[in-house]
Structure 1
Amino acid sequence: MKKTSLYIALSAAAVFAASCKKDFLQKYPKTEISPDAYFNTAKDLETFANTFYDKDYSYDDTNSDNVSYYSSSGELDALLEGNIDPTTVGKTGWDDWKKLRTYNFLLDYAHRASGDTVGINHNIGVARFFRAKFYIAKLARYSDVTWYSHVMTNVDSALYLPRDPRAKVADSIMADLNYAISNLKPEDNGNRTRVNKWTALALMARFGLFEGTFRKYHSELGLTDKAAPFLNAAVDAAQQLIAGGKFKIYSTGKGAADYRALFSSPTLNGNPEIIQWFDCQQSLSVGNNSHTVLGWSWSVSNSLVESYLMTDGTPFTSQPGYKTKGFVDVFANRDPRLAETVAYPGYSITNDNRLYYAKPNLGGYDQLKFYPRDPALRQGWDANYTGMPMFRYAEVLLNLAEAKAELGSLTQQDVDNTINQLRDRVGMPKLIMGTANGAPDQVMANAYPEVSGANKGVILEIRRERRVELACEGLRLNDLNRWAAAGRIQDAQQGMYVPALGGIDMSGDGIPDIAILASPTDTAEMNTVPLSVRYTISRFYLKDASGKETNYYLDNGRSGRISFTRYRDNPRKFVAPKYFYRPISLQETVLNPNLKQIFGW
């Protein structure tokens, strides 16, 4: 009897969660069990809420300045080349409203449940958490967007509403998160794969910082004077989470290995830094594709590589001749997180003497972070079995530090309790506010000219720390957008520096491991390569045998930094403020004429 009841409950949940992609807002879920009969207990709500969870994690920063090359399908490339408009943008980012319908379905019928009040309110909090997260993504992409608080039907005139103002949407998100924080249980049986109070606080800290800084740096919104309440909300949420005492930076004294464990372990259960994670297990037939980060279709950008400090705490960009350092020298005496993020000289996929050599046609700085280090954990497409972090304590600390710095209330004690905990883990020198503000790094200041004020130097260093600590975790483009960092988005990214055509040492033993040559018919530089490896090393060409250019070139001709012909032949241009947002597909505005484009779209 119990098995039959569970089957009916799960079947009902699955049917309720499904909807036609074309008219998901209008269709009423069809099932033999009506929602009036189904939503009777907290357990019913929980069973339905379990359908909300999916693979909502990220292990790359494609479409941002942290990546040196990605496929021609990248939206950011198309945008900056002028190829995005309402007729070409498609429905990506707009076609997931069926998720909202599912969240609202639970909220519309939750009132029917009775009994366990705490459990009922917890599951309502789960639905409101997911609705808030859904709208945060919409706000980031479209700014003004229609807020739907109930399931729409095919006779509901609300289907044809105009966009709601950003301020209303942001306030509605805050209301959902405040409810979630007040009603979600503080634990999920200790495994942290489900939404709980701490997850909601982490999302509030993230969103408060996002919206507060977006308003501060985007005058086109007319909301600059209303930024502080969101920054204060970020501070309050982060401090509540910290005060809860449930989390801390994962550090066992192993430095870089502790940082690595967050992204390549078979399980994150019990890791004190993880607030929420996604469990990938072979026994559950649930895997991921994290192996694709290494040398498949992108590399990490030189811009990101240059952001990592030297081990003495000084900027890499203050080193003499930093612009022309070769691959091996770039990794010498650097923040240990660099070699955990980028495939370093001497890295072996198989953990033996068979070394990995990056592909110059992708830039040369291949991403290592999230790559399963244990070969037993990577078994093919959708068959990697490493835990995927979704919210971690390190981000909360970074959010707190940045929000307080932007509010002008940051102290050295705050820096020690946030930024310096991250640096301590990997043995990096502490950040000192007085030093940072007294002499801001000029390279960082040039990169972010929008930053000013007494805390300019420390804000710049917090941005550096955020970029380094959270590299390849899918947050970078939203960071650039909220900072109004148009120049960083517009930049054509490059790869490693190549001092000359011919052999290149990629392992640090002084022996060439690959060769970059002008073409298959122009191989004179191979004469400088030792005979012992001349005919066995991998060769890469700037032009093919017919004289046609490949996808990359060296910016000085026969030497220089790896650059991409796509960017040279299609100059990138950022149109502000228009490009901080995306247009709505023309098809959608035809279906609902009340949906109007904004900011020049």
Structure 2
Amino acid sequence: MKKKYSTIKLVSLFVGSILTVSCNDSFLDRYPIAEISPENSFKTADDLRLYTNGFYEQLPSIRNIIDADLKTDNVLYSSIPEEQRSHERILPSETGSGGWDWEDLREINLFFDNYQRCTDEAGRDKYEGVARFFRAWFYFDKVKRFGDVPWYETVIQTGDTDLLYKARDSREFVVSKIIQDLEIAVDKLGDERASDQVTRWTALALLSRVCLYEGTFRKYHTELGIQGSDTLLQKAYEAAGRVMDESGYTLYSTGNPDTDYRDLFASTLKEDEVILGRRYSLTLNQMHNVNYYLTSRTQRDIGLTKDLVDSYLQLNGMPFTSKTGYATMGFYDEMQSRDRRLAQTIRSLGYQRIGGTATLLPDFAATMTGYQLCKFLSDETQDGDGASYQDVAFIRYAEVLLNYAEAKAELGIITQDDIDRTIRLIRSRVSMPNLDMTSANQSPDAVLAALYPNVSGSCQGIILEIRRERRIELVMEGFRWDDLVRWKAGKLLEPHFIGMYFPSLGEFDLDGDGAPDLMLYTGTAPSTTAAQSVEIGGVLQLTEGDHGNLIGFKDNTKQFDESRDYLYPLPTGDLLLNENLVQNPDWDK
């Protein structure tokens, strides 16, 4: 246990990243390293500001956000994630591994042990609110991953054996503490808007996320017998409603439905919509490698799945899956007259890079399904490894609208007016028709109903359509795994994921210009004028051998264990060190 709770040098806690410091902050403002200690710090509002700036480094990177979707049914890439091969999963062994780490919490609780030294009451309140937000963020992640976890609100010293070796607290208790932290943060924080700083609206948005997650988790995981679902769902829509009514946030739009969704993710934070995000900077040499990651043929060959692509509606608002022959349509036909977000998420017909003039088809050497992700891509000058600097959003106003609609739908109290305040606005950005609640409930989409068989009741249709909207609007933003877990939909991970359909081997005209663009073959590559050739066999095959959908790892077994895989296991090293810890259900069998 000493390793997990070893003293962390205060130097590392105060030297926060330049990414998360506001424009008024500077490294020149920081204290000399030799002077940093609890005894001579935490005395002024500026001390508290400098210290809490370091908490922003605990937020995920843009790669973390994108990678979170790789373990879901949205993506097929160059390996099968462990979450989809339950029979092969190995328990983490090293102490503090597998996500069971607590050093970030120690940094936060060090603040709580010392911030009362500050004599500036207003400053003390503000930065207490920031710290409570980050403690809630930390614990929300732990509850989602492990369920029951030990709750700590003070720094643990080496001699605190009762705390060091305590058992896990119940998820109900920990969630109540998370909510308490966020509600206090809402009261303590100001109502200014700053996309890279924690404010009242950030806390309210996270509160809506937490309560929606836990409310639906309790509703659908009936085997756990945890009460309080309705109360949490009410808190979820009330928190989201406050953001909607009081904050002034809106959805980013310039009135161009063909590019606005794309541009939201391809450059700087859009202040009207982004409630919390991370800034990157070419000038300050704060970069990442997302362009390289999504375009290079040496990376993970990320491809979105046909199931996801099929979920995008037609431009008239009707399901694409209601069209005759949708499952065996070629790329050109299936891309016609679709929700404009599809062509701003994958390389579709007529795709051009930002700032470019060349029309590009999917690069089959960089995507396993043919549906190549272009969301998050900036211009080609940023394609080098570590050369990208587009910002990333963690909390968007669009998510808040979706939280509000889903919470009310799950409670059975949603109205068409609620839909008009939420889904209609999201769809309007891309000039899509509004969702009609009466029609959705009278004729629930059969394809969606098959995906989520545990959704029933008078609001079945509208719940299913809100789930569709959430999957499309938030794709690759790190939500899908959490959604599958809370909806108890893990079985969607078991089928082999597929990509584009091809009726045979041979040459294919993907863009309808009369010239071949792609050759599919087995064995020796034949002569072709097509710009791309793909060998079928090995990892990448067709579902029916010589025709069908692209499929990866067809001969590998996939499995999701409903009795255990909604939670992750604790490391065996921690179980050995602390006999009061108990492994999550069925992970010790």
The TM-score normalised by the length of structure 1 is 0.88
**Is residue 89–residue 583 contact of structure 1 (8 Å, CA) maintained in 2?**
no
CA offset digits 1:70-121 (Å, max 9, x no partner): 435x3323xx241224256995542541111101110110111112x12111
Which of residues 79, 83, 95 in structure 2 aligns to 1:76? 83
Pairing 1:180–2:209 present: no
1:88–1:586 Cα change, 3 Å? closer
Deviates more, 1:84-93 or 1:129-138: 84-93
Q: 1:561 aligns with which of 521, 546, 549?
A: 549
How many residues end up aligned between the 2 structures? Answer: 551
Partner of 1:375: 380
Give, in whole Å, the separation in 2 of the partners of 1:310 and 1:161: 54
Q: What is the CA distance between 1:15 and its match in structure 2?
A: 5.0
Secondary structure, counterpart of 1:277 in structure 2: strand
Contact 2:92 2:98 in 1 (8 A): no
1:246-325 correspondence to structure 2 within 5 Å:
246-265=248-267, 267-268=268-269, 271-291=271-291, 292-294=293-295, 296-297=299-300, 298-325=302-329
Change (3 A) 1:553 1:504: same
* Match in the other structure for 1:597: 583
SS of the residue 2:309 aligns to: helix
Question: Does the CA contact (< 8 Å) of 2:305 and 2:497 recur in 1?
Answer: yes
Aligned-pair CA distance for 1:283 = 1.1
CA–CA distance in structure 1, aligned partners of residues 108 and 358 of structure 2: 51
How far does residue 256 in structure 1 lie from its aligned partner after superposition? 2.9
Q: Distance in 2 between matches of 1:294 and 1:449?
A: 37
- Confirm or deny: 8 A CA contact 1:192 1:274 kept in the other structure: yes
Given the alignment, which residue of 400, 403, 406 partners 1:402? 406
In the superposition, relative to structure 1, how do residues 162 and 517 fare at CA in structure 2: closer, same or farther (>3 Å)? same
Matched, 1:149 2:153: yes
Instruction: Note the alpha carbon deviations across 1:396-444, whole angstroms, 9 max, x for none.
Output: 0000000000111100000000011111111111111100000000110
Change (3 A) 1:434 1:391: same
The Cα offsets for residues 113-141 of structure 1, whole Å up to 9 and x where unpaired, read as: 112x1211111111111111011111111
Taking the TM superposition and a 5 Å limit, the aligned residue runs for 1:496-507 are 496-507=500-511
Question: 2:342 & 2:95 partners in 1: Cα distance?
Answer: 36
Q: Which residue of 2 aligns with 1:541?
A: 535
Displacement of 1:13 in angstroms is: 5.1
1:425 aligns with 2:429: yes
Aligned to 2:12: 14
State the distance in 1 between where 2:466 and 2:561 align: 27
Among candidates 164, 169, 172, match of residue 167 of structure 1:
172
Cα distance, 1:535 vs structure 2: 4.7
Partner of 2:208, secondary structure, is: helix
Secondary structure at the aligned position of 2:568 is classed as: coil
The 3 A distance-change label for structure 1 pair 584 and 235 is same
Unaligned stretches of 5+ residues in structure 1: 1-10, 19-29, 527-533, 544-548
Q: Is the 8 A contact 1:262 1:389 kept in 2?
A: no
The alpha-carbon distance between structure 1 residues 15 and 435, as it changes in their structure 2 partners (threshold 3 A), is: closer
Query: Structure 1 residues 15 and 218, CA, compared in 2 at 3 Å: closer, same or farther?
Result: closer
Give, as a single letter, the amino acid of the residue that structure 2 aligns with 1:285: N
What code does the residue aligned with 2:555 have?
D
Dislocated runs of 4+, deviation >6 Å: none
CA contact (8 A) 2:517 2:530 kept: no
SS of residue matched to 2:195: coil
Q: Pick from 490, 496, 512 the counterpart of residue 494 of structure 2.
A: 490
The one-letter amino acid paired with 2:169 is D
Instruction: Kindly state the Cα deviation for residue 237 of structure 1 after the two structures are TM-superposed.
Output: 0.6
Are 1:46 and 2:52 an aligned pair? no
Give the Å deviation of 1:488: 1.3
Partner of 1:62: 70
CA contact (8 A) 2:347 2:360 kept: no
TM-score, normalising length from structure 2? Answer: 0.90
Q: Which amino acid aligns with 2:66?
A: Y
2:105 matches 1:100: yes
> Contact 2:92 / 2:569 at 8 angstroms: preserved in 1?
no
Answering whether residue 241 of structure 2 is matched by residue 236 of structure 1, we say: no
- 1:432 alignment partner AA: D
Q: Give the 3 Å change call, closer, same or farther, for CA 48–218 of structure 1 in structure 2.
A: same
Task: State whether structure 2 residue 357 is matched by structure 1 residue 352.
Answer: yes
Percent identity for Structure 1 against Structure 2: 40
Aligned to 1:546: none
Amino acid at match of 1:129: F
- C-alpha change, 1:500 and 1:317, in structure 2 (3 Å) is same
Against the structure 1 CA distance between its residues 307 and 159, is the aligned structure 2 distance closer, same or farther, given a 3 Å change threshold? same
Question: Which residue type is aligned with residue 287 of structure 1?
Answer: M
**Cα distance in 2 between the residues matched to 1:124 and 1:69:** 42
Q: Secondary structure at the match of 1:256?
A: coil
Is 1:448 aligned with 2:452? Answer: yes
Matched, 1:573 2:559: yes
Give the Cα–Cα distance (whole angstroms) in 2 for the partners of residues 491 and 403 of structure 1.
29
Cα distance in 2 for partners of 1:133, 1:33 equals: 26
SS in 1 for 2:560: coil
CA distance in 1, matches of 2:467, 2:126: 35
Q: What is the CA-CA distance between 1:458 and the residue it aligns to?
A: 0.2
Counterpart residue identity of residue 459, structure 1: I
C-alpha RMSD of the superposition:
2.1
